[in-house]
Amino acid sequence: MAVWLTRLAVDRWRHAEGCRHGEGADAAPVALIAETAHGPRIETANDAGLAVGARPGMRLADARTLYPRLGVAPADPGGDRAFLERLAVWAQRWGPWTAVDPPDGLLVDVSAVAHLFGSEQRLLADAQACLAVRGLAARLAIAPTAGAAWALAHHGPQRAILGTAEDIAARLAGLPVAALRLEPAARLVLRRLGLERIGDLAGRFADQAGRDALKRRFRGRAPEASPLLRLDQLLGRAAEPLLPVVAVHPALVQRRLLEPLRHRELLDQVVADLAADLADVLETRGEGARRLELALWRVDGDATLRQLELAAATRDAAHIARLFAARLDDVDAGFGIELVRLRAAWVEPLAAGQARLDTAAEGPGTSLATCIDRLAVRLGPDAVRRPVPYASHIPERAQRWQAPLAPEPAAQEELAFHARPLKLLDRPEPIAVLYATPDGTPRRFRWRGAVHEIARVEGPERIAPEWWREKGSARLRDYYRIEDQQGRRYWIYRAGLAGDGRGGAPDWFLQGLCA
């Protein structure tokens, strides 16, 4: 069974906005846009947006010329793909396995399961109704091969069914060659050859000589550019391997308590027991937890959720219990907690390691990851970061911040710099500089209300603007290392040159303090 979600991006956006078709935010014209080198471009639009002239591929500026009040929202192809994968797992209610058919379709194996729904027609009706309840517009078809089902779903009648493989050639002969899932370049070649329908292709190249001639024309191309291969897959003459979606269930343990808990000491004991159980489950799966979620349900139905994100994958039960203990001080037990659940929402492979014989004598672990986890719980997840180098000549862009134990970015071009100051300001601060000539070295400057006489100057070091990241009006910089009469050293730069055509007189800035 092929499922084509005809408006996947719009339906997912509508679901995220919490509105039904034609209601709320969906009642106004809205277009989903993507940023391109030539400005925002429309990926798709809701029905109201299509009605006012917004079309996929159109520039946003052109669409707003037709309708100035056109609303916009960012397109999210990655989110659409993730949603499609989750939907593929849910669609296993109709078959033993499902596969994703990007960018907006699913393939479901419904072999020998139609009788469970009464008939193939009732199976399609059930699938259509379930998708409609979820707010998804879809076209469906059932056929003996994946290619035939795809062709019927995209180019055939609504909810079509092909009973046997012998019906495929006759029923699909009138469909356009686009139903073979060919790329645009291959369709263009076939159109120039006068092959508009699948029947034309199957009839003209039925003999071996014709097949060999067409094969030579498309030799060395990908499967989506080979008409004969696609035709054979559609007719069942060639195998078409599909990658099924496998549901990955997160490691989860829980305790349903006979008596509701109201005291903190008992809650800590339950959390410690759950951490030990989760560690056993993770060890069996060869995984370690990076993100943990602890959910507490009270007898009145209220729920409390606490999350932890760890610096490195771990299944140390004592460490997990210790971290959660610091996050449970503000939990209100009310009339008691009756259910506690611990789930590993994010895991990574973690091989089993040999424990040291003297581990017990050393006391609790003091590894770097353990220390970082404790600091993150106390100070907040964004308070512990480390700088990593970044390929940029501009000093304030030459480093970025990331999680302490996250892998460093891929090796980038080695950049050779002159000596850099020990301290850079958060952002360059403007200063007033006196100098003899427009291109001369500075003699005196005013910074934060104080005037500094310059005793020594070293430079300049010229840094050109990064044209691939900045606008054309960006100006080059000449950096100087200077020392005032009190022995204090600074790192200043002049932005631009006199007469460079990119602004008025050059501006001066102080960016760092030198040793």
Which residues have CB under 8 Å from 372's CB, separation 6+? Answer: 311, 384, 404, 405
Residue 507 scores a pLDDT above 80: yes
Residue 210 scores a pLDDT above 80: no
C-beta atoms surrounding 277 within 10 Å: 17
In this predicted model, what pLDDT tens digit does every residue of 266-325 receive, in sequence order?
999 999 999 999 999 999 999 999 999 999 999 999 999 999 999 899 999 999 999 999
Residues facing 287 on adjacent strands = 349
* Amino acid residing at 145: T
Q: Please give the Cα distance from 208 to 476 (Å, whole number).
A: 67
Residues facing 461 on adjacent strands = 479
Q: Which domains does the chain have, with CATH numbers?
A: 8-76 (3.40.1170.60), 81-235 (no CATH), 252-353+360-379 (3.30.1490.100), 423-514 (no CATH)
Q: Write out 472-509 in H/E/C secondary structure.
A: CCCCCEEEEEEEECCCCEEEEEEECCCCCCCCCCCEEE
Residue 89 scores a pLDDT above 50: yes
> 273-278 long-range CB contacts below 8 Å, 24 or more apart?
274/340, 274/341, 274/342, 275/317, 275/318, 275/320, 275/321, 275/324, 275/342, 276/317, 277/253, 277/342, 278/251, 278/253, 278/315, 278/317, 278/320, 278/342, 278/344
In this predicted model, what pLDDT tens digit does every residue of 453-483 receive, in sequence order?
999 998 889 998 888 777 767 889 999 999 9
pLDDT higher at 329 or 210: 329
Beta strands 2-5; 138-142: pairing state: antiparallel
Residue reference for tokens 């998708």: 131
Q: Please give the Cα distance from 505 to 502 (Å, whole number).
A: 9
Q: Please give the Cα distance from 391 to 122 (Å, whole number).
A: 59
**pLDDT confidence of residue 365:** 47
| Stretch 183-211: mean pLDDT | 84
Residue reference for tokens 């050779």: 416
In this predicted model, what pLDDT tens digit does every residue of 346-356 receive, in sequence order?
999 998 776 66
In this predicted model, what pLDDT tens digit does every residue of 99-149 receive, in sequence order?
999 999 999 999 989 999 999 999 999 999 999 999 999 999 999 999 999
**Six-digit token pair at 47?**
């029905």
Q: By C-alpha distance, which of 512, 459, 460, 508 is closest to 488?
A: 512
Residue reference for tokens 């263009």: 188
Between helices 317-325 and 368-379, what is the axis angle to 10°? 20
| pTM value surpassing 0.95 | no
Q: By C-alpha distance, which of 46, 40, 37 is closest to 59?
A: 40
